[in-house]
Structure 1
Amino acid sequence: MPQTRRSILAGAPAIALGMAGLVTPGVMRRALAADPRMSERALGNPNAKVRVEEWYSMTCTHCARFAADVFPKVREKLIDTGRIYYVFCDYPLDRVALMATMVARSLPVERYEPFVLSLLSSQDRWAYNQDVDPQAQLQKMAALAGMSADQFTATINDEALRQAIMAEEDSATARYKIDSTPTFRFNAIQVSGEISFDTFSANVDKAAA
């Protein structure tokens, strides 16, 4: 079963809650377009016949298994061969995932995907270990990716970035009825939950037909 969305607003700063209802869609779109941190994060051939979008959360165990067990084959056989254009779509399920997403989005574009895969592969150490502070662990991993301590602090307290990520998540929920992770779209074909490489590839073929 896919992992369902939990509230990421609980405990969020009041300014984020207050402004969310005041920003119009048009204003938000212009703000997103002006912020390079919210530019598309993708791999492969942008002119490929099939565009695959994955909505995922940094704290989703199903997303982590897909990243470990299926994504390497997807990259080798479908992305690197130019058959698909693969787009990473942030869909944080909780405040820890939202914080991790903010950090990933603030790294140089080329470091986004390696950082995301590193977090997904080590969820048990930074997100679900009862003996550690997720924020402290994220800061250590961000430092390895080249983010200074000052940059990290500024990033996780950036209300504009937090709102932008949440606005994109809400847009995906409204437009595609997405409410769980992972969710995939193969052009217009939508599939929710963990899938095998064979199922993934079959959907690519169907979308390309």
Structure 2
Amino acid sequence: MNEQSGSSISCTLSMSESHQFNVDRSVLPKIENGRRTIVITRSNQNEPFGMVLQSDVIQTCDGSLKRYTYLDSVESGGIAYKSGMRNGDILVGVNGVDVMSLSHSSLRSLLSSTIEARIVVLAREHSRLIDLHSKIFLLRARLKQAEQELLKITGEEEALLARYRNRLRNSSIALSSSPSPSRVARGILLTKIDRIDSIVSPSSLIPQITRL
């Protein structure tokens, strides 16, 4: 009788663990590497877990925004640390609930209301990846700002060049409408010659040679 009772208990526990495993696996099932389930138990709701959560929103390659909550720090010797949680672990599930879509305040409320929590986390390598994505997002924002500044400077340069070309064009028109210096000099010379011609005869302009 006892053996049958023990077998029944073992079977019940196995079914319960299997169910919990399937529930945990239902959260982000495509991710295999670095994924683990941690059970955290505290005596009451007032006892701290000993961990600091931080939520960041990053932009993915397709332009969509995703929120990630990870452990910014884990208190050494605290409940979370003793349970196996470490800095950089990303929280993806709590008691079978996908927390990737939850806001930071909702996730905080969910954890605060539990005494025992089954938390599915991703290893810190994923946290580093998120950090890189965040840096890429900032770099893209700075690049976009630099491109806008470059377009502004380019527009100002083109405006200056356009004004300079207009000035050159206006100067060319003014020069073409006024007599050239050579033409003015030639006019003065002709005027002098005309005056000379009016005073003396053409023969008098021929050089005089005297042989002595």
TM-score by length of 1: 0.22
Larger RCO, structure (CA 8 Å, separation 6 or more): 1
Q: Based on CA coordinates, which of the two structures has the bigger radius of gyration?
A: 2
Determine which structure has the larger strand proportion and give its number.
Answer: 2
TM-score by length of 2: 0.22
